[in-house]
A and B are shown apart, each in its own frame.
Chain A
Amino acid sequence: MDFRFDLIVDYAPLFLKGTLYTIGISLVGILLGTILGLLIGLGKMMQNKLLAFPFNLYIAFFRGTPFFVQIFIIHFGVIPAILGTTNGLAAGILALSLNSAAYIAEIFRAGIQSIDRGQMEAARSLGMNHIQAMRYVILPQAFKRMIPPLGNEFIVLLKESSLTALIAVPELMYWGRAFQGQYYKVWEPYLTAALIYFILTLTLSYLLSRLEKRLATE
């Protein structure tokens, strides 16, 4: 087999650009997803079943349908409805954020509910109101427990961001496909893309395990 390293070198600037896009949309996606996820998680935990229902529905929808389908709905439906025109980048980021928010909401809820209920009772018995008890007692402990699953979610999101190539977000996989189209080569672009994704996820899990260790010894 004739493996053309020279073509990869030629394409390197575009792969680099794509990698930066991948990192960028993943970071923005996890950030917005976390903020949104916290709110949705809180919504789901409301005592009133009726008020909690929309949040439950949201989580069920985004976890129960393929991400690919969600991307298309957002790209061809939601974004044009808001902006009046399609915009791949906006749709990609929105899809990643909304999708990860559903998973993060569950991570958040599980984190809070894993805290012994004696903690809340002790805080309340000391005169703290619900918000104070959450803020000073429950959340700091829950957050520590949320870090490993949040890290996993980040890794999943980074990999899934490759699907946004299909709506022309110029991220890594987009340039892989462009490479294939231009040179009629398969192994070169996709092995390169795979390698870059692999390095990104490995780096990420390394950073996460270091963070976990540091928090564990604190």
Chain B
Amino acid sequence: MIKVEKLKKSFGANEVLKDINVTIQQQEVVVVIGPSGSGKSTFLRCLNLLETITAGHVSIEGVDITDKQTDINKIRAEVGMVFQQFNLFPHKTVLENIMLSPLKVKKITEDKARETALSLLKKVGLEDKANAYPDSLSGGQKQRVAIARALAMEPKIMLFDEPTSALDPEMVGEVLEVMKQLAKEGMTMVVVTHEMGFAREVGDRVLFMDGGYIVEENVPQELFDNPQHERTQAFLSKVL
């Protein structure tokens, strides 16, 4: 469970997150939508402390991650993140990308790491790419490897920041498919996306962010078909 209370985040004088309050239950799939610059990425990045939090509290599984005593690396290992730009390690093969962190951080054996990595590759449909370098993969394949890499740490929560925005349209489906599968298996997920179809089908709840606030939240059906807030209506009329 993720609990966010009165979260604020500023970059210098620019207050990007103004007052974010939200609780995300175990196994819930929360989709975050909103206009560019509304703070969606920043919100996500605060959940694994890629950004330092200016004020407020975030707790994950009851552990306050804003507490200075908390071991950030341990929290991060439990919260997987998938980036728009994949961020695969180009100097390592697909298999090495996936094995690196389990080996160095979890310090499991090479055999165990390889076994896990191969089964994850199978899960994302890329077992034949184990020894390829990221540069030789298509965007959709890269993103599936990135998902497998995050999963290799056996996270309790997965964060996705526009995972399909950098992809050619014909590759979006294969990545969403993997994410749907994950959701079905009960992974807790927070997904920033412009894929409204995905939000509707997989999301348990949709948060609409604007200007550093969560302006409106609801189950997908309600939020898309019957938006209450003017700004939500304006945004949806542009993207739907």
Contacts and interface: CB of A to CB of B under 8 A. Distances in A.
Interface of A: 116, 118-119, 121-129, 132, 136-137, 140-141, 144
B33 to A, nearest CB: 22
Q: Top 4 A-B pairs ranked by shortest CB distance? A: A127-B77, A122-B87, A126-B101, A118-B87
A124 B91 contact: no
A128 B73 contact: yes
B238 interface: no
A127 B106 CA distance: 9
B137 interface: no
B89 interface: yes
Given A121-B87, A122-B87, A127 B105 contact: yes
A119 B87 contact: yes
Nearest to B104: A132
B57 to A, nearest CB: 21
B175 to A, nearest CB: 17
Interface in B100-121: 100-101, 104-106
B104 A125 contact: no
B232 interface: no
Interface stretch (B9-17, B78-86, B188-196, B203-211): B78-86
Contacts of B150: 125-126
Given A126-B150, A136-B104, 10 more contacts: A122-B83, A122-B87, A122-B89, A123-B89, A124-B76, A125-B76, A127-B78, A127-B105, A132-B105, A137-B100
A126 B76 contact: yes
Contacts of B63: none
A119 B106 CA distance: 19
25 contacts: A118-B83, A118-B87, A119-B87, A121-B87, A122-B83, A122-B87, A122-B88, A122-B89, A123-B89, A125-B80, A125-B81, A126-B80, A126-B100, A126-B101, A126-B149, A126-B153, A127-B76, A127-B77, A127-B78, A127-B106, A128-B73, A128-B105, A136-B100, A136-B104, A137-B89
A127 B149 contact: no
B90 interface: yes
Nearest to A135: B104
A185 B117 CA distance: 72
A125 B50 contact: yes
A144 B92 CA distance: 13
A141 to B, nearest CB: 5
Nearest to A130: B73
A129 B91 CA distance: 19
B143 interface: no
Nearest to B75: A127
B50 A126 contact: no
